[in-house]
Structure 1
Amino acid sequence: MSDETPYARLSPDLVLDAVTACGLWPDGRLLALNSYENRVWQIGLEEAAPVIAKFYRPGRWSDAAILEEHSFANELADAELPVVAPKLFAGRTLLHHDGFRYALSPRHGGRAPSLESADQLEWLGRLIARMHAVGARSSFVHRGRLDRDTLIRQPMQAVLTGSLLPATLAERYRHAVERLDRLVAARFDAVGPVRSLRLHGDCHPGNVLWTDAGPHFVDLDDARMGPAVQDLWMLAHDERAMEALLEGYASMRDFDHAELALIPALRAMRQVHYAGWIAARWHDQAFPAAFPFAAEARWWEQHIADLHEQANEFEE
């Protein structure tokens, strides 16, 4: 399997064969779900509810790191948290078929949460607090931390060594990222030590599905060690929303309000990482199709301007 075409052989027939290898009986219905980092399919089964098949991107995580994700998801589910956890087959959650690693999980549908609703935000705050209470029990060993090396320096190198950034913008880009990196480091130093715990890691509205029974969380693929506020800030579009989240959170678990000062740093790190992620994955044919703007010089000019704007906000 080529690193340049990681999913070239992942045909519908291979997906169905992988599900059949688990002793399940697909009925031939496949629905590709919106996922770029991995490949995710909804598979219809004969006389049973559909399952979700997640095929992991080759080379991104080690087997040990994926198993930590699965273990965390099952630990959360055992604590009666509404988290979609992988199914067990012959005592294993990480499965292998024809060179691919994959996992199967139950299908849980839902709609996007209403982030204008204080009641829903408080509900989410309570659930995230309970998730963090479980996350604080132990540490990840293989999944790394939410830090500047992972979210700034490595993405910067991916952009500078990739083919997307016009050569005429390289120094301007490097200067913008290095400037922002220094300010992010200063902000973390100013806040001081904060408690690091196992996080969802990518707790944005797309990874929360709401039903009449309430919300549930999906996709722990970015689970890492980091500060609690990481799982809150992407759900809060303004101060009132954050207040509602924290009201719910504080009813279940103490929150260190000093972490709120990290939000601009976390937002900046995510912005740098986003561009680096696209650059690092550009050889995957799904990325040029989904992010065509990244091939245009004007997008990189705007990205550089946005990084300086973030830096200006820090300095102000």
Structure 2
Amino acid sequence: MSQFDFSELGPDLILDAIESTGIYPESGLLALNSYENRVYQFVAEEKKRYVVKFYRPERWSDEQIIEEHQFSLELAEHDIEAVAPIEFDGKTLLEYGGHRFSLFPSVGGRMFELDDLDHLERLGQLLGRIHNISDAKPFEHRLTINIKQDLTEAAEYLRKSELVPRYLQDAFFQDLDKVITLSCQHLPNNLKNIRLHGDCHTGNILWQPGSESDDAVLVDFDDCITGPAIQDIWMMLSGDRQQQTLQLDTIIEGYEMFRPFNHEEFAIIEPLRARRMLMYMTWLAKRWSDPAFPRNFSWFNTDKYWEQQVLALKEQLSAIEQPLLKLGY
């Protein structure tokens, strides 16, 4: 998997794959910001905009990708604003020239604004509606969040990779072990797992004022996963403690208009943040042999980067040690 670099996926193959569906691009291919897959936007002859996504081999199985597609299609059937793939003869996952790909409608919108409380409340409403549908049945093939296991496996991979400079290893891994230990101490016993978007951050949300439904539109379900509901919320929290409390309060107020929320899940906000930090480091490490990664992440695997990660771990350890966020109602 780490050796694959999309080197054979040239413009001719991409265009031939698209045209195999009966859709004929009129414009050129605009590469969109995606390092894991290869994603391009184009305008077809009928003047409609589309997005084509070519999936990285061995990352997800066919069953996992199809389950992702079925989830977004299920949401669309319930009038949820989520971008779902286009079906061709009942299939959403297609193959051409040894590459798996899918086509999506291209949707527009403004950047989602974290400091706009109206945006946050509407997002909370949208997530409450989505999670009502998510709770109806489980994923069978997608991954499940396991904070202890995910943190432990990421740490072990980094140890074996020997990417951390020798002079920083003691400080880095000592703090990392403390983060893992303290994170695991915060895990409640009664967490409920449901189907999730999994990667709900501002880059995957579009704001469409005046749209027919929720105004906030979720895109890119590539990382959909099974886990606790707070996973789809915590990435909206930023700033100091007062700011995060206000953001969380606003989202949950919107969420609970459609679905009750288990406030005990607030205990894993910082452990989930630690999990994302570690998984991002290991993701870069695992993909480093793909030429696209050294080209676009030239700062990774430098002494300065790992020095910054030592500081980030200390800050995260301090955040985990802080009293839990608590709403005012």
TM-score by length of 2: 0.90
Q: 1:139 to 1:155 in 2, by over 3 A?
A: same
- Tell me the amino acid that sits aligned with residue 23 of structure 1: G
> Could you say what secondary structure the match of 1:225 adopts?
strand
Contact 1:6 1:58 in 2 (8 A): no
* Offset from partner CA, 1:37-75 (integer Å, 9 cap, x none): 111100221123021111111111111111110010101
* Offset from partner CA, 1:167-218 (integer Å, 9 cap, x none): 4434443333222111111111xx2211110000000011001122222100
Report sequence identity in percent. Answer: 39
Q: 1:3 to 1:240 in 2, by over 3 A?
A: closer
Query: Which residue of the partner structure matches residue 233 of structure 1?
Result: 234
Deviation for aligned residue 1:99: 1.2
Q: 1:14 to 1:161 in 2, by over 3 A?
A: farther
CA distance in 2, matches of 1:175, 1:182: 11
| 1:263 counterpart = 2:269 | yes
CA distance in 1, matches of 2:108, 2:149: 32
Query: Which residue of the partner structure matches residue 241 of structure 2?
Result: none
Q: 1:57 to 1:150 in 2, by over 3 A?
A: farther
Query: Which residue of the partner structure matches residue 59 of structure 1?
Result: 58
After the TM superposition, list the runs of 4 or more consecutive aligned residues in structure 1 that deviate by more than 4 angstroms: none
Query: Which residue of the partner structure matches residue 260 of structure 2?
Result: 254
Deviation for aligned residue 1:15: 0.9
Query: Which residue of the partner structure matches residue 166 of structure 1?
Result: 165
Query: Which residue of the partner structure matches residue 146 of structure 2?
Result: 147
Contact 1:177 1:272 in 2 (8 A): no
Contact 1:200 1:223 in 2 (8 A): yes
Query: Which residue of the partner structure matches residue 31 of structure 1?
Result: 30
Of 34-43 and 4-13, deviating more is: 4-13
CA distance in 2, matches of 1:288, 1:153: 26
Contact 1:41 1:53 in 2 (8 A): yes
Contact 1:151 1:270 in 2 (8 A): no
Contact 2:147 2:272 in 1 (8 A): no
Query: Which residue of the partner structure matches residue 217 of structure 1?
Result: 218
Query: Which residue of the partner structure matches residue 326 of structure 2?
Result: none
Of 170-179 and 62-71, deviating more is: 170-179
Select which of 276, 291, 298 maps to 1:285: 291
Contact 1:200 1:220 in 2 (8 A): yes
Q: 1:3 to 1:117 in 2, by over 3 A?
A: closer
CA distance in 2, matches of 1:80, 1:221: 20
- Tell me the amino acid that sits aligned with residue 230 of structure 2: V
Contact 2:147 2:271 in 1 (8 A): no
Q: 1:248 to 1:107 in 2, by over 3 A?
A: same
Deviation for aligned residue 1:150: 6.1
| 1:205 counterpart = 2:170 | no
Deviation for aligned residue 1:236: 2.7
Query: Which residue of the partner structure matches residue 315 of structure 2?
Result: 309
CA distance in 2, matches of 1:121, 1:8: 41
* Root-mean-square deviation over aligned CA pairs: 1.7
Q: Give unmatched runs, 5+ long, in structure 1.
A: none
CA distance in 2, matches of 1:172, 1:38: 34
Q: Give unmatched runs, 5+ long, in structure 2.
A: 239-243, 323-329
Of 127-136 and 172-181, deviating more is: 172-181
Q: 1:51-200 residue pairs with structure 2 within 5 A? A: 51-148=50-147, 151-162=150-161, 164-188=163-187, 191-200=188-197
User: How many residues align structurally?
Assistant: 313
Deviation for aligned residue 1:139: 0.9
Contact 2:55 2:99 in 1 (8 A): yes
Q: 1:3 to 1:265 in 2, by over 3 A?
A: closer
Deviation for aligned residue 1:152: 1.9
Contact 1:180 1:310 in 2 (8 A): yes
CA distance in 2, matches of 1:66, 1:299: 33
CA distance in 1, matches of 2:250, 2:228: 19
> Could you say what secondary structure the match of 1:86 adopts?
coil
Deviation for aligned residue 1:151: 3.5
CA distance in 1, matches of 2:39, 2:107: 14
| 1:298 counterpart = 2:304 | yes
> Could you say what secondary structure the match of 2:26 adopts?
strand
CA distance in 2, matches of 1:96, 1:113: 34
CA distance in 2, matches of 1:43, 1:314: 44
